[in-house]
Amino acid sequence: MGGRLPRPHGGDVAMRAHMRSGATTGAATAIALAVALASASATAHDPSADPASTEAWTPVPPVVATPIDAAPSDAVVLFDGRDLSAWEGERGGDASWAVSDGAFTVVPGSKGIRTRKSFCDIQLHIEWRSPAQTAGFDGQDRGNSGIFLQERYELQVLDSHDNPTYANGQAASIYKQAIPLVNASRGPGQWQAYDVIYKAPRFSAGGGLISPARITVLHNGVLVQDDTVIAGTTEYRGAPTYAPHGCAPISLQDHNAEVGFRNIWVREL
Ligand code: MG
């Protein structure tokens, strides 16, 4: 793109930082200055340089259609408002939660459900709604469900609108591990959205942990988990742990609350 004002290059920035720092002379300072000057020389604007020499034409990004209010064209649609064919009961068999009006709702006592397909690294979009009626339900008993990445790591679903509970157990927490940056909750009975970037943990052939899972979450468009490291399984009691596993389903929690879900899709990364 042409017409932009030139930005200060690396050498300028390093020089200014150095001058602001008030550093005195010495071997380290001399080296820093030499590096900055060399960088400045290498990256200075050259009016004779061919602008095409810094253009990259490959790889060409695949085209993805992005219709308004619908899943991107390369997404795996996990619920399109009609049926739970992409899901099964967490103990096998068909998913038995209630489908109506383009959404499905937890049937308390029926146990959780999970995707038939397994996933590793994903981008996930999911919308949820806690019950409008809150009388008699407080804390963890108000609109509790959860989205378990790889069946192990819970992104909490809870009515956290004017409903105090432990902060690492409120909506958009990584359950008992990571408090959300802000509380972006809407009121009970309103649809809310999570947009998630999830990187699965890596394990060595011997079963050792190479890298933990990481998660970024937007809650109703607001950043609430910023590349958060997941410490292991999200346990109700005790510390998180890691045990080696491969790609695994996404599961949704039955926590005895009639939480609704709709518009669920995944892009495999
Ligand atoms: Mg939960």
Contact present, 108 and 177 (Cβ < 8 Å): no
Per-10-residue mean pLDDT for the chain, 269 residues long? Answer: 40 41 48 54 76 97 95 97 97 96 98 98 98 97 98 98 98 98 98 98 98 98 98 98 98 98 98
The pLDDT, as a whole number, for residue 88 is: 98
Q: In whole angstroms, give the CA distance from residue 142 to residue 16.
A: 54
Confidence (pTM): 0.83
Is residue 115 included in any domain, yes or no? yes
Q: Which residues contact 48 (CB under 8 A, 6 or more apart)?
A: none
Would residue 143 be called left, alpha or beta, if left means φ above 0 and alpha means ψ between -120 and 50 degrees?
Answer: left
**E strand or H helix at 162:** none
Is residue 227 included in any domain, yes or no? yes
Determine the distance separating the centroid of ligand 1 and the alpha carbon of 113, expressed in angstroms. Answer: 13
The pLDDT, as a whole number, for residue 41 is: 52
Determine the distance separating the centroid of ligand 1 and the alpha carbon of 14, expressed in angstroms. Answer: 48
The pLDDT, as a whole number, for residue 44 is: 65
Determine the distance separating the centroid of ligand 1 and the alpha carbon of 146, expressed in angstroms. Answer: 4
Determine the distance separating the centroid of ligand 1 and the alpha carbon of 118, expressed in angstroms. Answer: 21
Read off the pLDDT of residues 216-261 as tens digits, 9 standing for 90 and up.
Answer: 999 999 999 999 999 999 999 999 999 999 999 999 999 999 999 9
Q: How many separate domains does the chain show?
A: 1
Is residue 148 included in any domain, yes or no? yes
The pLDDT, as a whole number, for residue 28 is: 55
For residue 31, CA distances in Å to 14, 18, 143, 188, 257 come to 12, 12, 60, 60, 63
Is residue 2 included in any domain, yes or no? no
Determine the distance separating the centroid of ligand 1 and the alpha carbon of 68, expressed in angstroms. Answer: 30
Is residue 5 included in any domain, yes or no? no
Determine the distance separating the centroid of ligand 1 and the alpha carbon of 20, expressed in angstroms. Answer: 49
Distant-in-sequence contacts of 231-240, Cβ < 8 A, 24+ apart: 231/177, 233/152, 233/153, 234/148, 234/152, 234/153, 234/154, 234/174, 234/175, 234/176, 234/177, 235/176, 236/176, 240/176, 240/177
Determine the distance separating the centroid of ligand 1 and the alpha carbon of 229, expressed in angstroms. Answer: 19
Q: Which residues contact 199 (CB under 8 A, 6 or more apart)?
A: 121, 213, 214, 215, 269
Determine the distance separating the centroid of ligand 1 and the alpha carbon of 177, expressed in angstroms. Answer: 13
Determine the distance separating the centroid of ligand 1 and the alpha carbon of 102, expressed in angstroms. Answer: 23
Is residue 4 included in any domain, yes or no? no
Determine the distance separating the centroid of ligand 1 and the alpha carbon of 171, expressed in angstroms. Answer: 9
Is residue 114 included in any domain, yes or no? yes
CB neighbours of residue 99 within 10 Å: 15
Determine the distance separating the centroid of ligand 1 and the alpha carbon of 150, expressed in angstroms. Answer: 15
Report helix, strand or coil for 89: strand
Determine the distance separating the centroid of ligand 1 and the alpha carbon of 78, expressed in angstroms. Answer: 20
**Amino acid making up residue 12:** D
The pLDDT, as a whole number, for residue 106 is: 98
The pLDDT, as a whole number, for residue 161 is: 98
**E strand or H helix at 15:** helix 10-21
Q: Which domain holds residue 147?
A: 11-268
For 127, the token pair is 């919308």
Determine the distance separating the centroid of ligand 1 and the alpha carbon of 155, expressed in angstroms. Answer: 8
Contact present, 111 and 255 (Cβ < 8 Å): no
Determine the distance separating the centroid of ligand 1 and the alpha carbon of 35, expressed in angstroms. Answer: 52
Is residue 1 included in any domain, yes or no? no
- CATH number for the domain including 192? 2.60.120.560
Determine the distance separating the centroid of ligand 1 and the alpha carbon of 253, expressed in angstroms. Answer: 6
Determine the distance separating the centroid of ligand 1 and the alpha carbon of 134, expressed in angstroms. Answer: 16
